[in-house]
Structure 1
């Protein structure tokens, strides 16, 4: 069994919890509170900025040109393609994308970013891949799950979002990350594979927590306080 197949099996509990989360299921039903969509976009915009920084750190730790080219391509994907699902949400809430950019991260998103940066700074390439993989992988499976469950058509308010993540392009991103992690894991020690598993599981936990953060409009306890 491939290393990433083991990861998927060991973390199926979290994948199922993500599929059944009210925000995710609400996308399928076409009914998500406006405030939750707004909170999600604000946080995800900054999260994806950090995601690109992690790709940059992965480039710095890559010796193979193929890895450098791949991570560089993924920065381009985030910059040029992942704006489309965000714009779908913005259209539904009647707010421009630009208005929702530049906000501080809520606690869960802040923790997720620092989790990825920790592994990017202190870990090897396998750990970085393990920390990065749950984001595209869970979104790919969310997209496919919602297509299968709700069969959205062009009249569905979130059809563009669902189809984007169920699309072949996101599947290719996921498959390439999986294949490279499998290669790295095949040459890693047991201790290194354990660290990869830990990075992957925590990212899965934080993917679930990110949806909850958006749905509940999570804020810092004293978010309105002014620090002098």
Structure 2
């Protein structure tokens, strides 16, 4: 069992609430109102800017060159792939990159990103990875599941988003992250420390759920 599989099993309620959230279900069945998705996407763009900084912090926290390269790949994936997806989707609504970057951060965005950065600043590489894992691996799981359900059909307006996270490039990134997490755990994880790592993982899952809910709450 990988460390991620153990964390996922021990945080099963939090993981299920995150990966099976109503926002995700509505993405899959194409019933999600566009204004909900638009608010989520703009906030996710702002989130990813901070997430890239968290990966950059991973470079500093890395004990080896291989770890530094892995962290750098995370920065590049965000700056060269994920942010461009968001800009392209927002562009279809007449929003420029500058428009997105001028948007104010919503409270769930601030809560989540600062939690991840604090986990990395106050802890070591494993703490940072535990905070990053729900997002990195969870999006891959969600994308693959929605594609497996046929949700990326031509009539679904969210098919490009699904395709991005179900695609080979992102799926490979998530697998590499899972392996990287295991390599770090092999070096520093003890049974006495595991509850702390699990707590970070659980909190990140809850913050992911709050992030989805933020999108739905636009309608309230």
- For the criterion TM > 0.5, the same-fold answer is yes
Query: Unaligned 5+ residue runs, structure 1?
Result: 220-228
Q: CA deviation at 1:171?
A: 1.7
**1:155-194 superposed Cα distances (whole Å, 9 cap, x missing partner):** 4311111111011222222122211221222332233322
- 2:215 is aligned with 1:214: yes
| Equivalent residue number for residue 192 of structure 1 | 193
Higher helix proportion, which one?
2
- Select between 122-131 and 187-196 the one with higher mean Cα deviation: 187-196
- Select between 155-164 and 115-124 the one with higher mean Cα deviation: 155-164
| Equivalent residue number for residue 95 of structure 2 | 96
- Select between 80-89 and 23-32 the one with higher mean Cα deviation: 80-89
| Equivalent residue number for residue 144 of structure 2 | 144
Alpha-carbon RMSD across the aligned residues, in angstroms, is 2.1
3-state SS, counterpart of residue 184 of structure 1: helix
1:131–1:19 distance in 2 versus 1, CA, 3 Å: closer
Q: Please tell me whether the aligned partners of residues 106 and 218 of structure 1 are also in contact (alpha carbons under 8 angstroms).
A: no
- Select between 107-116 and 166-175 the one with higher mean Cα deviation: 166-175
Q: CA deviation at 1:218?
A: 9.2
3-state SS, counterpart of residue 102 of structure 2: coil
Q: CA deviation at 1:133?
A: 1.0
| Equivalent residue number for residue 80 of structure 1 | 80
Query: Unaligned 5+ residue runs, structure 2?
Result: none
Superposed counterparts of 1:47-126, under 5 Å:
47-87=47-87, 89-90=89-90, 94-98=93-97, 99-126=99-126
Q: Distance in 2 between matches of 1:192 and 1:218?
A: 42
Q: Distance in 2 between matches of 1:218 and 1:104?
A: 18
Q: CA deviation at 1:15?
A: 3.1
1:210–1:140 distance in 2 versus 1, CA, 3 Å: same
- Select between 3-12 and 128-137 the one with higher mean Cα deviation: 3-12
- 2:208 is aligned with 1:203: no
Q: Please tell me whether the aligned partners of residues 119 and 131 of structure 1 are also in contact (alpha carbons under 8 angstroms).
A: yes
- 2:177 is aligned with 1:159: no
* TM-score normalised to structure 1 length: 0.87
1:88–1:11 distance in 2 versus 1, CA, 3 Å: farther
Q: CA deviation at 1:97?
A: 4.1
Q: Please tell me whether the aligned partners of residues 147 and 162 of structure 2 are also in contact (alpha carbons under 8 angstroms).
A: yes
Q: Distance in 1 between matches of 2:31 and 2:131?
A: 30
Q: CA deviation at 1:65?
A: 0.8
**1:36-67 superposed Cα distances (whole Å, 9 cap, x missing partner):** 12211221111111101111111111121111
| Equivalent residue number for residue 43 of structure 1 | 43
